[in-house]
Structure formats: C-alpha cells, structure tokens
C-alpha cells in the first residue's frame, strides 16, 4: 500500500481542524451507539421525513449516525483524504458550511421523494468528493494502493452510479437519493463556482434586457453561452452593435475567450462601459 491515497508527496497528509472534529464526532456517535444501542440512536437522531415536525434536528444529526463499522469507515476514510486539501484551500469555516449544506441537500432530496429514515455522512462526503474532483480533476487516486485513476473519472462514475440508482429507486437499502442530493448541493454551493470574468459579467448585465439572453458558466475560463430569443415584437433591433455582440458571443461559446481578436475584445469593453454609464 502507498502511504497516501494520491501517491507520496501529492498533498499534506496531516489532518485539518474541521475534518478532525467531524471524524471525531462521527466515531464518538458510533461508539455511543454500541453502549446505548443503535436502535435508540437511529430512532432519535436519524432523519425521518414523516417525523420532521416532531424531530426536526434529524436533518442535521443524521449526518453523524452510521449503520455499521464499514459504513462509518468508508465515509471517514474518504473524508480523511479528500477533506484536508479543501479545508486548507477554503478555510475551516467555509469547509464546514459546505459539508453541512451538502448533508442538508441529501435530506431535502430524500424528504421530497422517500419516506424511509436515512443516516450517514455520505451526502456531505459525496459533496466533498465532487469539490475535490472539480478543484483537482487530474490528480490520480490509487485504488487499492495500486491502480491510478484520475479523480474526475472516479467521481464521474460515482455520480452516474448514484444517479441511475436514485432514478431507478434501487431497493438495496442504500440512500441513493441522499447521495445524489449531496452531489447536487455540492455543485450548487461550491465556493469557487461563481468566479466569472469581469468583462463577460459586465456585458451580460448590459444586454440582459435586450434581445439576447446569455447564461454564463465559467470553469477554467470556459464559457457556455445560451442564446434566448425574445418574442416576435423584439425581433427587429434598433442598435446594430448588438448584432456584432451576438456574433462574438457565439464565437465565445464555440472557441472560448482566447479566440477573440483585439477588435472584438475592444467592442465588448465598449458595450459594457456604455451600459454601465446609463
């Protein structure tokens, strides 16, 4: 076995404060369950959709309850390796909020579609997996300490597996909907998910009320531009400059910002400044 899930020296192996506390709390609850009985812990601290009004704390406490040793071990193993790099990058407060929001996402999706009680930190951990894969997509993970697989492919497989089982309502006793909720909440609340190019954001604000509707999604300076046409009354434009902007936005969607000429970039700046001054 390798000393590290990602190979020697890839990341700092030391636990970070928030991850350490999360692991400690989860292990403590599991040990407590062995003393007072798992039935008691599950009854009072799991998330039970049909009892949400009388035990609302379950939407949070379920994240720290596990059904057995291996359920606990797998979640804590992944949190141990994937959590610290993210906590160092974001800070402890941001990491904790992100983890809890992913857990809440699992509870919300479960509440919407199932009535069975759910337990486990998996929704939060799945959100952490997603964040790690988006932040360091090409880092190799060594499965069984031998086979290197890039994180983005491993997490993509996990997402596809989770989605298919959640949609198919697999009756295997696994809370696939909670896992899927963790993935979705993880993407929605990813701290770095809202970093946009200032120039493109300004252009979007400038023309959002015109005949072009633009949706931007930025990751590694790549953009997805969706054109939306207004009603037939707005088909004829008064300002021909917007026609040129339309063509430039199509070019961004196909080839990215790097494909623009100096003149095209200058036009975007002019449009943004013009509308900001109004």
pLDDT digit string (tens) for 164-208? 888 776 555 577 889 999 999 999 898 865 543 444 444 444 444
- Band (pLDDT 50/70/90 cuts) for residue 12 is confident
Evaluate if residue 130 carries a pLDDT over 60.
yes
Give me the pLDDT at residue 9, please.
52
144/269: higher pLDDT: 269
Cα–Cα distance, 186 to 133 (Å, whole number): 11
Question: Is residue 248 classed as helix, strand or coil in its secondary structure?
Answer: helix
Q: What distance in Å separates the CA atoms of residue 214 and residue 272, rounded to the nearest whole number? A: 14
Looking at CATH, the fold of the domain delimited by 17-192 is given as Rhomboid-like fold (1.20.1540)
Q: Which residue has better confidence, 61 or 227?
A: 61
pLDDT tens, 82-111? 999 999 999 999 999 999 999 999 999 988
Share of the chain above pLDDT 90, in %: 37
Q: How much is the pLDDT for 27?
A: 95
Distance CA 65, CA 87 (A): 22
* Least confident stretch, 46-55, 113-122, 193-202: 193-202
Q: 174 vs 49, 73, 103, 149, CA distance in Å? A: 16, 16, 15, 25
**Over the range 203-235, which residues count as b (16 or more CB within 10 Å of their CB) and which as e?**
bbebbeebbbebebebeeeebebeeeeeeeeee
Question: What would the mean pLDDT of 132-151 be, rounded to a whole number?
Answer: 83
Percent of the chain with pLDDT over 70: 68
Query: Among residues 224, 217, 207, 215, which one has the least CA distance to residue 270?
Result: 207
Of residues 235 and 255, more confidently modeled: 255
Tell me the DSSP string of 28-96.
Answer: HHHHHHHHH-HHHHHHHHSB-GGGTTT-TTHHHHGGG--SSHHHHHHHHHHHHHHHHHHHHHH-HHHHH
Mean pLDDT of the chain: 77
Per-residue confidence (pLDDT) for residue 244, from 0 to 100: 76
Rg of the chain, C-alpha, whole Å: 23
- Separation in Å, CA 161 to CA 168, 176, 183: 11, 9, 12
Domain ranges of the chain: 17-192, 195-276
Q: Read off the pTM.
A: 0.65
Task: Please give the helix or strand (H or E) that residue 261 lies within, else none.
Answer: none
């Amino acid at each position: 076995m390798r000393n590290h899930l990602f190979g020697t020296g890839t990341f700092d192996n030391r636990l970070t404060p928030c991850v350490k506390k999360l692991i400690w709390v989860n292990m403590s609850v599991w040990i407590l369950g062995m003393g007072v009985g798992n039935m008691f812990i599950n009854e009072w601290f799991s998330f039970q959709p049909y009892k949400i009004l009388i035990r609302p704390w379950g939407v949070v406490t379920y994240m720290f309850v596990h059904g057995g040793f291996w359920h606990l071990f797998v979640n804590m193993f992944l949190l141990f390796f994937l959590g610290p790099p993210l906590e160092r990058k974001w800070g402890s407060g941001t990491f904790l909020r992100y983890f809890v929001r992913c857990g809440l996402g699992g509870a919300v999706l479960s509440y919407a579609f199932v009535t069975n009680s759910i337990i486990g930190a998996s929704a939060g951990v799945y959100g952490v997996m997603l964040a790690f894969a988006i932040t360091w997509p090409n880092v190799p993970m060594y499965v069984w300490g031998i086979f290197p697989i890039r994180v983005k492919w491993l997490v993509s497989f996990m997402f596809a597996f989770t989605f298919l089982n959640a949609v198919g309502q697999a009756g295997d006793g696994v809370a696939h909907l909670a896992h899927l909720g963790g993935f979705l909440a993880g993407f929605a609340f990813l701290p770095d998910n809202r970093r946009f190019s200032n120039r493109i954001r300004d252009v979007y604000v400038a023309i959002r009320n015109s005949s072009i509707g633009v949706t931007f999604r930025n990751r590694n300076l790549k953009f997805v531009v969706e054109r939306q046409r207004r009603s037939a009354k707005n088909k004829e434009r008064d300002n021909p400059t917007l026609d040129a902007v339309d063509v430039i936005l199509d070019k961004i969607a196909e080839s990215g910002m790097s494909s623009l000429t100096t003149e095209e970039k200058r036009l975007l700046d002019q449009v943004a400044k013009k509308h900001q001054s109004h």
